[in-house]
Amino acid sequence: MPKRTRDDGLKDPPAQLSAFARRQLLEAKISTPVSPVPASSASPTLTPDSSTIRDFTPPVPTSKLKSSKKTKDPTTETPTTRGKPTSRSTPQSTDCNVSTTKKLESALSRQLEDSRRRKEAEEPTAVENGLGDAGEDVEDVMSVDGDEEEDGVDPRVLINGRGRANSIATQISSFVPTEINTAVYKPGLSVKYSLKASETMVFQGEYSLRVLSGSIQVYGATLTPSSGTHEVWAPSTHALPVIEALPRKTGDKVQEKDGEFDAEIVVGKFNSGIRDIGRLWPMFGGVWAPPNTTNKEDTYHLLTTSTSPPGTLTTPSAWLPLLSDFITPSPQAPVILITGPKSSGKSTLSRTLTNILLNTYPKIAYLDLDPGQPEFAPPGMVSLSVIRNPILGPPFTHPAGPVSRESKRYRAHHLGFVSPREDPGGYIQAARDLFQYYTHLYNSHSDSSLGIPLVVNTCGWIKGTGLELLQDIINLTQPSDLVLLHPPPQHPSGNASTTISDIQALLPHTTRFYHMPAPAPAAIQAKFSAADLRALHTMSYFHHSVVRVGGDHEPRISWGFANPLTHVLPWELPGRKIGAGIHILHLTPPLPPQLLRDAIEGTIVGVILVDNVNNSVEDEGNGDRAGSGLPYPFPGPPPTPETSHCVGLAIIRAIDTTTHEVQLILPQKDTYLSEASSSHDGLALVRGRLEAPVWDFVSEELRVGGRVAGDELPWVTCDGAAGQGGKGVREWRVRRNLMRRGR
Amino acid sequence: MASIQPNAQSRARIVPWRSSADLLWIKEAFHPGPEAPDQRYDALTMAQAWSVRGKLPHSIEATAMLTEAIMHDRPGASQLNLQLSYSTAICRFVNGLLDPAQQSHFAISMHTLARNLNLPASFVEIRHAATHENLPSLAVLRTAASRALGWLWSNYWVWVGATPIDEVNPEVEPQDVNLSRARLLLKQWRKLRRQNPTREIKEGENVPESREALAIIRDCVGICGTTEGLDGVVDAFLEEKALIPSGKKKSSALMKGAFLLWLPLLEPLDVSAPNFAEQLISSMLEILTPMDYALDELKSGSTVPFLASSPPVPKDREFNKALVAWIKHFTGASTSCKFGRTTSPETGVATLDIDNFAKQCIFRPNKWTLDILAHIFKCHPALNSKYSALASIAQTQASFAIEASHKDIEKKVSKTNSTTRALQDIEDELLQFEEKLASMDSQMEEWMQRRYRLREGQNQNGGKQDMAIDGQKGENGGDCGNHKWTKYPGVWTPRPIGVL
């Protein structure tokens, strides 16, 4: 099979491609003629178990679609010039696919219309702000200091970097509440909204979402009455999801008197506790409601118009061809690898793609290989998750993997660093083990005849060693599809030496290659620094708990931010129970044991379980090792991904050198912890270099006093005490976006 | 959220050292005195332990790397190995310092950045050579490493443990900065020259010692560029272990040593730093005549009570004797001492105007100045004939003047202290105390409430956690008690992380 180059979004093969690639691209276009079949003639008969396909409605006339497209984005003018490898689709499914494509595109094209409208109002466009991804690891450029809140300036304006709120109010939701379309559902709890097709709603805050009739689309997921209730988290740290009503299916009764609405939804108050994070970290207190909100009771707010519109999550038009390729199931579940430099929209695309796949497949596997901005694990970890429900919130709202009652749904490895840079070999080892776990799941699953698709999100390091690692990951996972989001040339990282052909050269022949421009640089303007979002994620992790409530005993996630971690009852772990030792990564020779406290007390460690630990090691009695009573230094290297896995992170609260006990702070009632607590396998605590958020060290009393007494709190200082005024006071943070003149 | 002012919080941050005492410890350990035991190895190990916690401030990291390289520099060590470790340490010292200074979108040259940070350009050169050219020679690297440590001391470490910066006045007096920098330079000079003070310092000579000495001179001249800097350098010179030898008795032998040690530094300063000689000698005079100084202040009707300003603190006899010895040396016959004899190209006047200085001494007669005058008259007969009459009057009045001034000052002081302050000030103070009391009362109340709430929260937390443990027992069947994790038994009172 010839290597296929998928670049349907562009009329001509891009100039960056090599002549060889260009020729191949043209051949591919010719050899896979397309069928611009009028979708209305399609009769979906395939896969009765797929609710998505059942809900198909007559698509929007092509002419309308075209006209709306033409005005905006000529690059997507020919949405139908896509070829399908014959192995993946039957003739019927092609029809079906086209129809679905149309539906998706019509929905998405309306989002585009909105964005254009916004542009006309001289505001940042929706598309431009449509990325939930964080900024680059550039500390100096966009760190927002809590200081600024004191000055009476609305923090959100500052945080969003969008101080230019003008008097022109921008329409955010196209839905306008009236007496007819809005009704109280349960007094004080929920509201029923009736939407016409293509009407959109944007909420900020957290809410529960249920479809009463018809169907809606949110973040790529199609929800119907059978989908049940979903919790949606929509803080302004990330782009806000847009709910859009899909056209009603003919014959589908809507229980509205006049029947003029296409979908009915119930939006309810929902209180997981996450919104209280502002009590500990004020910077994130204001992200749950629009500025000047008067009603503090509501957990969510419908955004109709705004003079300083938040970013909303719309899908860039360039993504449409790609996304529409994954609407139909294929017997061979796809393995989709997403790559691109930092802030190119990888996470957003991965989430959207996962949600779209969930419309078809009952479960998706998500291989999360970005330890800096992980989706399903706290920072510093890589993981494999099995996902059954659409992802309807930013990563920090599911900080320890998807919440579900499924047993085999998660495996993680602790890297200890937010980049694979420190230990590329260990990173690949971890990826290999996680992929093997996926293979195992795939081979043993019995849920449906459909396979389990795999979405692989990678870190944004695609130069030098990063490119070599990408090669390793490609060789390992043998993706059926690879998506490269590449920045436009004027992007700060646009001078990256990695080109499209560099990536293409890595691909096996069987892999389909998509490449599409990352959204314009304005979109990448992040509101919070990557380090802030990591700290937020870490805090969310340590304050979350998974509880089983209600008659169904469905696990639910909730948070407690009433107090910093200084108030949490710690676990006490005798040194002898840490059978696989305490390890500090990348430190040779080991520290003298008496310095162990100085090195790791008050830091974050990975809690690792070693499979089939050698009993003789454990029986040796670690109690007397090196006189410290704690298994440090431990003979032997830290556990490897092949023989261990990480059950979570812990903070070493304190080390008692007299009783040789380690006090640990763990997320409350973490389901993984019970595994660690009861396991017969060897336990190891591994210290990488993850940073603990300062907000959990500063206790209430000090905050009330308005002054932090530096010496009273271990490891906490105000700037005054640490040689402030001298030079080289701060850590050496690396800037990678520096440009040189004349380039 | 509204109730919490993020003021203190936003300034709080996590640092690798447990307390500021630890930071002070490492400061001392990295910079052992001549007699103190060498703790640099311990300091390196501690710095390594800290680096496990998080990133170290660059200056600490650079100090550790340079120290590590220096400590490897023992006889028998591989030359290449040493060159590599010195080079890396110096490159990282420079890069880590200059990279964060790249604030603009486009790269600024290293030399410009270095100038802005007051980092000698030679470091940038060595960095460049080590990266792109032949590895610099071990001799160059050794000098650079020790100069780098000196730079780090005067630009970072002196700030560590400096008197805590007051909230109200976060600006440290610039003079203090200069003083500590100058102090350090003099300390380096002393260390460098003590062994062989007569050794000549030659410009352009490729001897590490000469180069370092010249560097110190250059740095001192640089500090003297501003008024505050000049004050700082002069003050540093007038301390014990600087111009004043540290011995109990400032014998003439000791003084001779001091002359030998310091004149090679003083003389180039006289040549290159305008006003240095004049400032130095008039500062000496002020120390020798503290009462006169105070008297002048009071007589001139200055509104500032003199105690609030900072007149030179009267020094002890031996100290003054040393000063007199210096002045005598400066004002002696022109052949014996070149200091102060530099003539300004425009006016033709020497930097040290002995005529004028003699006049100053006559105006402030006491036993020290009269001693100096006698010396000046002996060495400069012209001045003797000009001023001897005045000098003898001054001598006869000296004792009276001192007595009178004593009484005068006492009166003035008691007046300013008691009467003017009395009513207004005391009332103000009372008001302040009342306010303080009120705020403390309210704070107390708040704390009590908070404690109550905390305890409630605690109970809730405890309850939840008990449930969690029970839940686990149910799930696990209870057979694995040996491996069970346990929670802290008993009541948990919130306490800082790191405190048992």
Tell me which residue in B59, B164, B487 faces A727 most closely, judged by beta carbons: B59
CA separation for the pair A39, A60 (Å, rounded): 9
C-alpha B278: how far from its chain's center? 23
Tell me the nearest-neighbour CA distance from B19 into chain A, angstroms: 5
CA separation for the pair B214, B202 (Å, rounded): 8
Tell me which residue in B12, B17, B100 faces A730 most closely, judged by beta carbons: B100
CA separation for the pair B174, B230 (Å, rounded): 11
- Residue B463 phi, psi (nearest 5): -60, -45
Other C-beta atoms closer than 10 Å to the C-beta of B286 total: 16
Flag whether A256 is in a domain: yes
**Do B243 and B222 share a structural domain?**
yes
Tell me the nearest-neighbour CA distance from A648 into chain B, angstroms: 15
Least confident range from A221-225, A291-295, B52-56, B361-365: namely A291-295
Pick the residue from chain B with its C-alpha nearest to A138. B100
Q: Which is it for the CA torsion A486, A488, A494, A497, positive or negative?
A: positive
- At residue B7, the pLDDT reads 44
**Do B183 and B132 share a structural domain?**
no
Do the Cβ atoms of A569 and B62 come within 8 Å?
Answer: no
CA neighbours within 13 Å on the CB side: how many for B283?
18
Complete DSSP assignment for A531-578: HHHHHHHHHHHHHEEEEEETTTTEEEEEE--SS-GGGSPPEEEEGGG-
Average pLDDT, chain A: 73
- Residue B350 phi, psi (nearest 5): -70, 155
B76: left (phi over 0), alpha (psi -120 to 50) or beta: left
CB within 8 A of A479, min separation 6: which ones? A335, A336, A337, A456, A511
Tell me the nearest-neighbour CA distance from A379 into chain B, angstroms: 15
Do the Cβ atoms of A730 and B58 come within 8 Å?
Answer: yes
Tell me the nearest-neighbour CA distance from B423 into chain A, angstroms: 33
Question: Which positions in chain A touch B160 (Cβ < 8 Å)?
Answer: 722-723, 726
Is the pLDDT reported for residue B435 higher than 90? no
Question: Which positions in chain A touch B496 (Cβ < 8 Å)?
Answer: 566, 697, 699, 712-714, 716
Domain hosting B84: range is: 14-101+113-161
End-to-end Cα, chain B, rounded Å = 29
A vs B, Cβ pairs < 8 A, gives: 299
- At residue B32, the pLDDT reads 85
Domain count, chain A: 1
Buried b (16+ CB within 10 A) or exposed e, B245-281: beeeebeeebbeebbebbbbbbbbbbbebbebbbbbb
Is the pLDDT reported for residue B68 higher than 80? yes
CA-closest candidate to residue A475, choices A432, A412, A411, A529? A432
How far is the CA of B456 from the CAs of A256, A562, A697, B450, in angstroms?
49, 12, 21, 10
Flag whether A206 is in a domain: yes
Q: Which ipTM score applies to this complex? A: 0.76
**Do B262 and B321 share a structural domain?**
no
**Do B280 and B397 share a structural domain?**
yes
pTM of the model: 0.66
CA separation for the pair A239, A218 (Å, rounded): 13
Interface test with B, best of A149, A493, A727 (most B CBs within 10 A): A727
The whole-number average pLDDT for the span B463-485 is 39
More confident residue, A38 or B224: B224
C-alpha A135: how far from its chain's center? 14
Flag whether A620 is in a domain: no
Helices (H) then strands (E): counts for chain B: 19, 2
How far is the CA of A89 from the CAs of A30, A92, A691, in angstroms?
19, 8, 48
Complete DSSP assignment for A576-631: GG-TT-EEETT-SSPPPGGGHHHHHTTSEEEEEEETT--HHHHHT-GGGGGGTSS-
β A381-387/A410-414 pair status:
antiparallel
| Cross-strand pairs, A346 | none
**Do B187 and B95 share a structural domain?**
no
Please give the single-letter amino acid code of residue B434: E
CA separation for the pair B122, A195 (Å, rounded): 72
Question: Which positions in chain B touch A729 (Cβ < 8 Å)?
Answer: 57-59, 156, 159
Pick the residue from chain A with its C-alpha nearest to B172. A725
Question: Which positions in chain B touch A699 (Cβ < 8 Å)?
Answer: 494-496
Do the Cβ atoms of B50 and A700 come within 8 Å?
Answer: no
Question: Which positions in chain A touch B494 (Cβ < 8 Å)?
Answer: 563, 566-567, 699-700
Other C-beta atoms closer than 10 Å to the C-beta of A226 total: 10
β A682-687/A604-610 pair status:
antiparallel
CA-closest candidate to residue B49, choices A244, A599, A4? A599
Domain hosting A171: range is: 165-313
Do the Cβ atoms of A710 and B7 come within 8 Å?
Answer: no
CA separation for the pair A390, B240 (Å, rounded): 75
* CATH code (residue A171): 2.60.120.10
More confident residue, B290 or A12: B290
More confident residue, A641 or B313: A641
Tell me the nearest-neighbour CA distance from B460 into chain A, angstroms: 11
CA neighbours within 13 Å on the CB side: how many for A173?
21
Do the Cβ atoms of B54 and A691 come within 8 Å?
Answer: yes
Flag whether B447 is in a domain: no
CA separation for the pair A24, A507 (Å, rounded): 14
Pick the residue from chain B with its C-alpha nearest to A283. B6
Flag whether B478 is in a domain: no
Question: Which positions in chain B touch A142 (Cβ < 8 Å)?
Answer: none
A595 to chain B, any CB pair closer than 8 A? The answer is yes
Do the Cβ atoms of A708 and B12 come within 8 Å?
Answer: yes
Exposed/middle/buried for residue A255 (C-beta within 10 Å: 0-12, 13-18, 19+): exposed
Flag whether B228 is in a domain: yes
| Cross-strand pairs, B76 | none
Flag whether B429 is in a domain: no
- At residue A233, the pLDDT reads 95
The whole-number average pLDDT for the span A623-627 is 44
β A481-486/A335-339 pair status:
parallel
CA-closest candidate to residue B175, choices B229, B225, B139, B94? B229
Tell me the nearest-neighbour CA distance from B284 into chain A, angstroms: 31
Tell me which residue in A145, A654, A728 faces B97 most closely, judged by beta carbons: A728
**Do B189 and B118 share a structural domain?**
no
Give the residue carrying structure tokens 């261990």. Answer: A644
Do the Cβ atoms of A739 and B107 come within 8 Å?
Answer: yes
Question: Which positions in chain A touch B173 (Cβ < 8 Å)?
Answer: none
Q: Which two tokens stand for residue B133?
A: 């050219």
A490 to chain B, any CB pair closer than 8 A? The answer is no
Among the residues of B99-207, which ranges form H helices?
110-117, 121-132, 138-155, 174-193
| Cross-strand pairs, A513 | A5, A482
The whole-number average pLDDT for the span A524-529 is 64
More confident residue, B407 or A630: A630
Tell me which residue in A711, A716, A728 faces B57 most closely, judged by beta carbons: A728
Do the Cβ atoms of B58 and A732 come within 8 Å?
Answer: yes
| Cross-strand pairs, A233 | A206
- At residue B369, the pLDDT reads 84
Do the Cβ atoms of B107 and A741 come within 8 Å?
Answer: yes
pLDDT digits over A237-280, tens only?
888 999 999 998 765 554 545 568 899 999 999 999 999 999 88
pLDDT digits over A673-710, tens only?
566 555 556 889 999 999 998 888 886 555 544 444 44
A20 to chain B, any CB pair closer than 8 A? The answer is no
Tell me the nearest-neighbour CA distance from A676 into chain B, angstroms: 9
Flag whether B423 is in a domain: no
Flag whether B169 is in a domain: no
CA separation for the pair B16, B53 (Å, rounded): 6
A412 contacts A339 by C-beta, under 8 angstroms:
no
C-alpha A672: how far from its chain's center? 21
CA separation for the pair B140, B137 (Å, rounded): 5
The dihedral formed by the CA atoms of B334, B336, B339 and B340, expressed in degrees to the nearest 10:
-20
Do the Cβ atoms of A717 and B20 come within 8 Å?
Answer: yes
- 3-class secondary structure, A312: strand
Is the pLDDT reported for residue A86 higher than 50? no
Q: Which two tokens stand for residue A162?
A: 């969008």
Q: At what angle do helices B354-363 and B381-414 cross, to 10 degrees?
A: 40
Flag whether B449 is in a domain: no
The whole-number average pLDDT for the span B101-105 is 77
CA-closest candidate to residue A344, choices A488, A512, A472, A242? A488
Flag whether A112 is in a domain: no
Flag whether B431 is in a domain: no
Tell me the nearest-neighbour CA distance from B240 into chain A, angstroms: 26
Question: Which positions in chain A touch B20 (Cβ < 8 Å)?
Answer: 710-711, 717, 721-722
**Do B287 and B253 share a structural domain?**
no
DSSP percent split of chain B into helix, strand, coil, nearest 5 = 65, 0, 30
- At residue A149, the pLDDT reads 28
CA separation for the pair A319, A329 (Å, rounded): 19
Most confident option among B405-409, B463-467, B491-495: B491-495
Tell me the nearest-neighbour CA distance from B178 into chain A, angstroms: 12
Q: Which is it for the CA torsion A724, A725, A731, A734, positive or negative?
A: positive
- Cα B92–B97–B98 angle (5° rounding)? 105
**Do B252 and B142 share a structural domain?**
no
Flag whether A210 is in a domain: yes
CA separation for the pair B175, B158 (Å, rounded): 13
Q: Which two tokens stand for residue A100?
A: 């679905």
Please give the single-letter amino acid code of residue A292: N
Do the Cβ atoms of A700 and B97 come within 8 Å?
Answer: no
Average pLDDT, chain B: 76
Do the Cβ atoms of A571 and B492 come within 8 Å?
Answer: no
Do the Cβ atoms of B488 and A727 come within 8 Å?
Answer: no
B27 contacts B154 by C-beta, under 8 angstroms:
no
- At residue B187, the pLDDT reads 84
End-to-end Cα, chain A, rounded Å = 41
CA separation for the pair A349, A335 (Å, rounded): 14
Is the pLDDT reported for residue A738 higher than 50? yes
A707 to chain B, any CB pair closer than 8 A? The answer is yes
Domain count, chain B: 3
Please give the single-letter amino acid code of residue A323: L
* pLDDT band at residue A120 using 50, 70 and 90 as cut-offs: very low
**Do B402 and B316 share a structural domain?**
yes
A621 to chain B, any CB pair closer than 8 A? The answer is no
Omega before A589 within 30 of 0, i.e. cis: yes
Tell me which residue in B165, B462, B495 faces A724 most closely, judged by beta carbons: B165
Residues 634-663, chain A: which have Cβ within 8 Å of B?
651, 653-654, 656, 663
**Do B219 and B310 share a structural domain?**
no
CA separation for the pair A445, A429 (Å, rounded): 24
Do the Cβ atoms of B156 and A696 come within 8 Å?
Answer: no
**Do B313 and B264 share a structural domain?**
no
pLDDT digits over B51-62, tens only?
999 989 999 999
* pLDDT band at residue A619 using 50, 70 and 90 as cut-offs: very low
Do the Cβ atoms of B4 and A656 come within 8 Å?
Answer: no
Picking from B417, B451, B470, the residue at the C-terminal end of a domain is B417
The whole-number average pLDDT for the span B342-350 is 69
DSSP state of A734: P
Question: Which positions in chain A touch B9 (Cβ < 8 Å)?
Answer: 146, 282, 694-695, 698, 703, 708
**Do B142 and B42 share a structural domain?**
yes
